[in-house]
Amino acid sequence: MEHPAPAVTGEPQVVVVDDAAAAGRIVAATISDTVRRAPTCRLGLATGSTPLPAYRLLVAELRGTGAFARVQAFLLDEYVGLAATDPASYRATIRSELTDAIGVPPASVHAPDPGSGRHADLDAACADYERLLGDGVDLQLLGIGRNGHLGFNEPGTPFDTTTHVVTLSDTTRADNARFFPTPEAVPTHAVTQGLGTIRRARHLLLAATGAAKADAVAAALEGPLDVSCPASALRLHPRVTVVLDRAAAGALS
């Protein structure tokens, strides 16, 4: 059966700045602005290295202000088999890098919870998180993998997927080994918001810095709209902002 090509609904707004610090300032300002306009908004957060300059700025500016006290935060993904208290879990990471310091109450920080209690059944963990996300977050911050992944949606993931269990690729496990004591300690599976889940957000904010991301960024923005580059799904969304430093923009035409 033939599938019609999906419609491209909007051109991402691409902002190129000098370096990762400048990218961090734009990301932090976009997040603060969203919360200033809607103090009870639903904010989609990413982990990994790219958001850290933005998170540090937010912590420096907002600690003790209470500005984020009514925000509900949602993570993109979580490893299977790590307790929420494991420092390598994304739940622990986002609390230590951002949400505790800017005063988002722990009960307002949501993430998939794969592996414990009722969520020993991973399908139940996925279904519950998808239900919690409802009609999507107001702003979703995203990083991009060297292989074009968004969240943990690896190449080959259909664009309409909901929250699901993934087997992590060798590239992704190697890239994330820096957060674990040994490469073997990197979990083999994760639960991630699907590309369909991510696309339900009102506004997508993708940040990429460094030359290692240049090919993935070019594939996402200028390559075929195809599951071989999950991040090309961004072009199906009507409101996307892409913040790049010069190195990450280096392979764009």
Residue positions annotated with a catalytic role:
77, 147, 149, 154
Stretch that binds ligand F6R, among 44-52, 59-67, 106-114, 194-202 (CB under 6 A): 44-52
Site residues for ligand F6R, 163-222, by CB under 6 A, read: none
DSSP class of residue 219 equals H
CB atoms within 10 A of CB 70: 15
Q: What character string, x for contact with ligand F6R (CB under 6 A) and - otherwise, covers 145-164?
A: x---xxxx------------
Nearest-CB residue for ligand F6R: 143
Across the chain, the runs of DSSP E, i.e. the strands, are: 13-17, 42-45, 72-75, 77-79, 109-110, 139-142, 164-167, 189-192, 203-208, 240-245
20 or 71, CB closer to ligand F6R? 20
Among positions 53, 114, 143, 196, the unique one binding ligand F6R when judged by CB under 6 A: 143
Stretch that binds ligand F6R, among 43-51, 99-107, 194-202, 237-245 (CB under 6 A): 43-51
> What is the token pair recorded at 206?
């993708």
67 or 177, CB closer to ligand F6R? 177
| Long-range Cβ contact pairs of 177-183 (< 8 A, separation 24 or more) | 179/88, 179/93, 180/88
Q: Which of 213, 162, 149, 160 shows the shortest CA–CA distance to 191?
A: 162
Total site size for ligand F6R, rule CB under 6 A: 14
Least separation in angstroms between CB 23 and ligand F6R = 11
19 or 65, CB closer to ligand F6R? 19
Site residues for ligand F6R, 50-79, by CB under 6 A, read: 50, 76-77
Q: What character string, x for contact with ligand F6R (CB under 6 A) and - otherwise, covers 76-95?
A: xx------------------
Stretch that binds ligand F6R, among 47-55, 65-73, 103-111, 124-132 (CB under 6 A): 47-55
109: Cβ contacts below 8 Å, ≥ 6 apart:
73, 75, 91, 94, 95, 99
DSSP class of residue 57 equals H
Q: Which of 32, 82, 59, 49 shows the shortest CA–CA distance to 248?
A: 49
The pair phi, psi for residue 119, each rounded to 5°, is: -90, 10
206 neighbors 143 (Cβ within 8 angstroms): yes
Instruction: List interacting residues with ligand F6R (CB under 6 A).
Output: 46-50, 76-77, 143-145, 149-152
